[in-house]
């Protein structure tokens, strides 16, 4: 329902379906009700677009944090006991925190 193009197709379908019935009985009230659908459609469009953007952002964050963690693991395996271990541990903690924050948001 929140797919951006689907919102307008759904709106056109509803208008086509109910337009004939809206012209009967209380025309003003029926037109106000159909008009509210027209006014709500852009809001649904923007919500859908925001949801898609947020999903993509979360996916990118998870992918990048996973990549960082893999690189840290590879560097730890190559490490020769140098003080890089502390730096690598800090990077690993930050990447894990970033990944968890992405899942929680």
Read off the pLDDT of residues 60-94 as tens digits, 9 standing for 90 and up: 888 888 888 887 777 777 755 555 667 777 777 87
Cα(49)–Cα(73) distance, integer angstroms: 36
Residue-range definition of the domain harbouring residue 86:
4-104
DSSP state of 80: -
C-beta separation of 49 from 55 below 8 A: no
Q: Residue 1: its pLDDT value, please?
A: 56
Q: Residue 102: its pLDDT value, please?
A: 72
Cα(104)–Cα(81) distance, integer angstroms: 35
pTM above 0.75, yes or no: no
Q: Residue 95: its pLDDT value, please?
A: 78
CB atoms within 10 A of CB 44: 19
Cα(50)–Cα(40) distance, integer angstroms: 15
pLDDT in tens, 6-15: 888 888 888 8
Domain tally, the chain: 1
Q: Residue 90: its pLDDT value, please?
A: 75
């Amino acid at each position: 329902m929140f797919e951006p193009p689907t919102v307008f197709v759904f709106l056109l379908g509803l208008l086509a379906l109910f337009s004939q019935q809206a012209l009967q009985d209380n025309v003003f009230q029926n037109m106000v009700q159909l008009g509210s659908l027209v006014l709500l459609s852009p809001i649904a469009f923007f919500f859908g677009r925001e949801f898609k953007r947020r999903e993509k952002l979360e996916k990118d964050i998870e992918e990048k944090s996973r990549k960082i963690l893999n690189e840290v693991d590879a560097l730890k395996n190559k490490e020769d006991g140098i003080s890089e271990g502390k730096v690598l541990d800090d990077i690993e903690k930050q990447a894990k925190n970033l990944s968890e924050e992405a899942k929680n948001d």
